[in-house]
Amino acid sequence: MALYGAAAAVLEALERGEGGLKALVYNSRFPHVRQLYALVSETLRYAAVLEKVLSGAGLLQAEKKLSPQLAKVLVYDLLFGKGLKCGGRWKALARRHRARLQAELARLKVQQKVSRNEELLSPAQAASPAASQVPRYVRVNTLKTCVDDVIDFFKRQGYSYLGKAGSVEELRALSGKKFLLDLHLPELLVFPPQTDFHDNLLYTSGHIILQDKASCLPAFLLSPAPGSHVIDACAAPGNKTSHLAAILKNKGQIFAFDMDTKRLATMNTLLMRAGVTGFQLAQQDFLTVDPTEPRYSKVTYILLDPSCSGSGMLSRVPGQEAAVGAQRLRALAAFQRRALAHALRFPALRRLVYSTCSLHREENEDVVWAVLQESGSAFRLVDAFPAWPCRGLAAFPGAESCLRASPADTLTHGFFVAVLEPCGEGAAVPSSLPAAAEEKPQCGEGTEPGAAPKKRKRKKQRVKE
Ligand code: SAM
């Protein structure tokens, strides 16, 4: 796919809340990821200006075949970027409208009494985005290696290991070629922001997964016991599925569903690379999965990470979260409620984790509360991970049992997690302790949600170099 088409596809996926900018770019299969990343992130930075220029010039009305995302990418490159060096027919189309677009840009500058393009950006857009403050989190894939070996590997690559972090402030202070073990999650290493490991051998061989800390919470809190049957309801591109498989030690069965063929293909590649076995991928609407089918009769754990507004993803332009329209938010929340209610219909369910990368209460606490109320007293919210500092908004009594994450409080992307369990007899799993508490990884230090960190013996296993 050509650069502009690939950039427009990433923008569309971002708008659908299908992941963060970096992940979408790297999963796009576009050969020049840095070029693609730079184009998309700059287009996002200028999105508000581009929308004004596009509407003033009437480009989308004149060119009905042009999607708003492709139009933004083309006009960004034409007016602010490298001036459409490639692009074939799209380049020709955009150039036909060049004079009108340039006039519209000039009009905006006059209106705002500025002379440079940069001055059209709000201070937040002009400043480095919050994403640049969030560390590079590296999840060790315990299906292929262990924490000690990965630490040794990075030491051999010239990084200094500073031990286990004692506070979020220590993570914030990281700089240079230094790294820490995370204070909350046992298999997570933390490097300074902007550290790029996409070309690192450990990443390309599936020994490490580049995953934001907040997005590691759902599988960590679901904590299925090895041997369990697990559903990952909205699974692609599969970082959480591979995390689940690592917790299961590849023992058990994961039923993973997603609607999107392309994302499922990427997911298949990622799972293979991560050494995941014992999973069934299905291109299926989770809402049509029949909970009474015999093959799901032993499903005791469900992870539900549905499509959302993605307003917590920091790679976006600051303030973009406000642009999610009320109608879209209502539609997303309606789907999320249906999916959560559907998930609770699986007869053997013992624990469910609901998560989003949205900041909106409508997609988070409100969804959980509505479905809990619908369920009568069949399910309850578990007070998950008491040590986690950032809690649910006070939308209903007990909402503080939910977890939130944010760049300011947890030095992560914005995120929401709720853990639900059946009340009464079905609730065989103790509330705030994962069922896999006794079954921790063979190497690495384990921290159970809510429990003090314990020293564990680490089994040596060489990382292939
Ligand atoms: N859990 C994934 C991960 O960690 O890589 C990210 C999931 S993303 C937030 C939401 C996913 O839900 C998208 O891949 C989307 O295609 C999928 N989806 C949307 N509606 C769905 C449905 N009705 N059934 C199954 N999957 C759905």
Domain ranges of the chain: 3-120, 213-430
pLDDT, one tens digit per residue, over 296-345 is 999 999 999 999 988 787 654 444 444 567 888 999 999 999 999 999 99
pLDDT score, position 451:
38
pLDDT score, position 18:
75
Whether the per-residue pLDDT at 436 is higher than 50: the answer is no
> What residue's CA is closest to ligand 1, atom 19?
307
**How far apart (Å, rounded) are the C-alpha atoms in residues 150 and 200?**
12
Q: Tell me if 212 CB under 6 Å of ligand 1.
A: no
Q: Tell me if 287 CB under 6 Å of ligand 1.
A: yes
**How far apart (Å, rounded) are the C-alpha atoms in residues 187 and 195?**
18
Distance 112 CA to ligand 1 centre (A): 41
> What residue's CA is closest to ligand 1, atom 25?
258
Distance 260 CA to ligand 1 centre (A): 8
- Which H/E stretch holds residue 380? strand 379-381
On whether the CB atoms of residues 71 and 78 are closer than 8 A, the answer is no
Choose the residue to mutate in 307, 309, 413 for probing ligand 1, maximizing ligand atoms within 8 Å of C-beta: 307
Is there a catalytic annotation at residue 357? yes
On whether the CB atoms of residues 213 and 41 are closer than 8 A, the answer is no
**How far apart (Å, rounded) are the C-alpha atoms in residues 258 and 262?**
10
pLDDT score, position 87:
63
> What residue's CA is closest to ligand 1, atom 3?
238
The half-sphere exposure of 232 on its side-chain side, counting CA atoms within 13 A, is 29
pLDDT, one tens digit per residue, over 139-189 is 999 999 999 999 999 999 999 999 999 999 999 999 999 999 999 999 999
**How far apart (Å, rounded) are the C-alpha atoms in residues 197 and 201?**
8
Q: Tell me if 259 CB under 6 Å of ligand 1.
A: yes
The half-sphere exposure of 247 on its side-chain side, counting CA atoms within 13 A, is 32
Whether the per-residue pLDDT at 455 is higher than 50: the answer is no
State the residue for tokens 């606490």.
365
State the helix-helix crossing angle for 68-79 and 47-57, rounded to 10 degrees. 100
What is the phi-psi region of residue 418: left when phi exceeds 0, alpha when psi lies from -120 to 50, beta otherwise?
beta
**How far apart (Å, rounded) are the C-alpha atoms in residues 157 and 144?**
19
What residue type is 205 in one-letter code?
Answer: S
**How far apart (Å, rounded) are the C-alpha atoms in residues 410 and 460?**
31
**How far apart (Å, rounded) are the C-alpha atoms in residues 438 and 430?**
13
Whether the per-residue pLDDT at 55 is higher than 60: the answer is yes
Q: What kind of fold does domain 213-430 have according to CATH?
A: Rossmann fold (3.40.50)
pLDDT, one tens digit per residue, over 199-220 is 899 999 999 999 999 999 999 9
For the chain, what percent of residues have pLDDT higher than 70?
85
State the residue for tokens 């015999």.
294
> What residue's CA is closest to ligand 1, atom 22?
285
Bridge pairing between strands 299-304 and 188-191: unpaired
Distance 16 CA to ligand 1 centre (A): 10
How far is the first Cα of the chain from the last one, in angstroms, to the nearest whole number? 32
pLDDT score, position 24:
84
pLDDT, one tens digit per residue, over 5-45 is 899 999 998 887 777 777 788 788 888 887 888 888 888 88
pLDDT bucket at 460, cuts 50 / 70 / 90: very low
**How far apart (Å, rounded) are the C-alpha atoms in residues 308 and 298?**
28
CA 446 from centroid of its chain's CA atoms: 23
Closest of 253, 281, 287, 252 to residue 266, by C-alpha? 281
Average pLDDT over residues 263-274: 95
pLDDT bucket at 113, cuts 50 / 70 / 90: confident
On whether the CB atoms of residues 303 and 354 are closer than 8 A, the answer is no
User: In Å, how far are 53, 359, 402 from 393, measured between CA atoms?
Assistant: 38, 10, 8
Q: Tell me if 236 CB under 6 Å of ligand 1.
A: yes
**How far apart (Å, rounded) are the C-alpha atoms in residues 291 and 369?**
22
Catalytic residue among 146, 357, 402, 443: 357
pLDDT, one tens digit per residue, over 120-137 is 876 555 544 456 689 999
Helix, strand, coil % over all residues of the chain, rounded to 5? 45, 15, 45
User: In Å, how far are 18, 257, 261, 265 from 14, measured between CA atoms?
Assistant: 6, 20, 17, 18
Q: Tell me if 187 CB under 6 Å of ligand 1.
A: no
> What residue's CA is closest to ligand 1, atom 23?
285
Closest of 440, 287, 259, 421 to residue 348, by C-alpha? 421
Distance 235 CA to ligand 1 centre (A): 5
Mean pLDDT across the chain? 85
Whether the per-residue pLDDT at 364 is higher than 70: the answer is yes
Q: Tell me if 235 CB under 6 Å of ligand 1.
A: yes
Global pTM value: 0.72
Distance 281 CA to ligand 1 centre (A): 12
Distance 272 CA to ligand 1 centre (A): 19
On whether the CB atoms of residues 323 and 135 are closer than 8 A, the answer is no
What's the sign of the alpha-carbon dihedral 451, 453, 457, 463? positive
On whether the CB atoms of residues 268 and 224 are closer than 8 A, the answer is no
CA 371 from centroid of its chain's CA atoms: 23
pLDDT bucket at 2, cuts 50 / 70 / 90: confident
